[in-house]
Homo-oligomer: A and B are copies of this chain.
Amino acid sequence: MSKTNRGNFFEDFKVGQVIRHATPRTVTSGDQALYTALYGSRFAVQSSDAFAKSLGYSHAPIDDLLTFHIVFGKTVPDISLNAVANLGYAGGRFLAPVFPGDTISTVSEVIGKKENSNGKTGVVYVRSTGYTENGTEVLDYVRWVMVNKRVAANPAPEPVVPELPSALDPQSLGTAVPLLDTANWDNDLAGSEYRFDDYEIGEKIDHVDGMTVEEAEHQLATRLYQNTAKVHFNQHTEAHNRFGHRLVYGGHVISIARALSFNGLANAFHIAGINGGRHVGPLAAGDTVYAWSEVLDKADIDGRSDVGALRLRLVATKNRTCHDFPGQDHDDNYLPEVVLDFDYWALMPK
């Protein structure tokens, strides 16, 4: 009986099963500094205690995606160590702000599984919830992954596929943001004069800048999140995979794209919800990431006159500028340079 975790296979997951993940992690200002160094994020609320306090925060919260990556990373040894592919996300809600000093743990519930027709793999659906040492839930989201079967001959289970919302109800959003004193929102310091009312549904924004990824960078990031997926770290084995090299953690791409989106969306200070997300293509060290956004929807939130919710599509490409907003072709196939298609609700001051 090995003491080494070799990961779970499709047969190991039971619908309704609850998994408490290792390792609890106290988030610090050191993590936030690394996050800034890794992505160059410039949103004022997360960068400045003084700015955050002027609005009504106790101090600056950490970046929402840093919370996401830490919550996510813990699930990898139990959920996706033998994953063939990370297929998608849905229904992600940022429920409470996370501050340096908070300790984050993650628990997951298996909410569905369905064998693939090839009989060799299956899809597992998991709802993961991050919470602090006080039990405060800070994030929950659903993801589904394709996992190898241990033995192909094992019979297929009864398929259980959860119903997932295509988009979150904006009325459920914003609990991670106190009521803001937006009279103190300083456009100059925040980096943009454009607020909620300045954006139109259907508007597209090219974020212009590109960021080249290095091996050391994505490895530092992925280890910071204590994410142990093998494909990110081991050139000795990955040299023999179908790509011939390590793959960049998909969440690293989301964070790069989000940081690039500051240029055009500087006041979209908070990711309130993740409607969906797909890693459309792989990214490797040496690739340069670009991004563009489209405003999919706008909504007021009941009882809040301080902020509104923008539903944004964030698309990232590799080695291709986004002046022409590359996405799918006429047959709905993604162009080969597209690596991410991410759908989220952001809050923006009015």
Using CB atoms and an 8 Å cutoff, list the residues of chain A in contact with chain B. 2-6, 20-26, 28-34, 36-40, 42-44, 47-51, 60, 77, 100-101, 103, 105, 133, 188-192, 194, 198, 205-212, 214-217, 219-224, 226-228, 230, 233-237, 246, 263-266, 286, 288, 319
Contact at B189–A40, with CB atoms within 8 Å?
no
List 9 contacting pairs A-B, 8 Å CB cutoff, sorted by A. Answer: A4-B263, A23-B43, A30-B30, A33-B33, A37-B221, A50-B133, A210-B237, A214-B214, A214-B215
Smallest distance from the beta carbon of A287 to chain B beta carbons, Å?
8
Contact at A38–B235, with CB atoms within 8 Å?
no
Take A22-B190, A224-B36 as given contacts and tell me if A264 and B4 are in contact as well, using a CB distance cutoff of 8 Å: yes
Measured CB to CB, the nearest residue on chain B to A25 is B47
Cα distance A3–B60 in the bound complex, in angstroms? 26
Cα distance A228–B40 in the bound complex, in angstroms? 8
Cα distance A112–B337 in the bound complex, in angstroms? 44
Measured CB to CB, the nearest residue on chain B to A193 is B3
A37's partner among B44, B220, B265, B319 (CB-CB below 8 A) is B220
A233's partner among B6, B22, B105, B210 (CB-CB below 8 A) is B210
Contact at A47–B26, with CB atoms within 8 Å?
yes
Smallest distance from the beta carbon of A60 to chain B beta carbons, Å?
6
Smallest distance from the beta carbon of A278 to chain B beta carbons, Å?
23
Contact at B23–A234, with CB atoms within 8 Å?
no
Q: 4 nearest interchain CB pairs?
A: A30-B33, A22-B191, A40-B223, A236-B288
Contact at A32–B28, with CB atoms within 8 Å?
yes
B contact residues around A51 at 8 Å (CB): 24, 103
B contact residues around A47 at 8 Å (CB): 23-26, 226
Contact at B263–A236, with CB atoms within 8 Å?
no
A22's partner among B100, B236, B266 (CB-CB below 8 A) is B266
A21's partner among B188, B223, B226 (CB-CB below 8 A) is B188
Cα distance A31–B47 in the bound complex, in angstroms? 12
B contact residues around A31 at 8 Å (CB): 30, 33, 36
Cα distance A60–B51 in the bound complex, in angstroms? 24
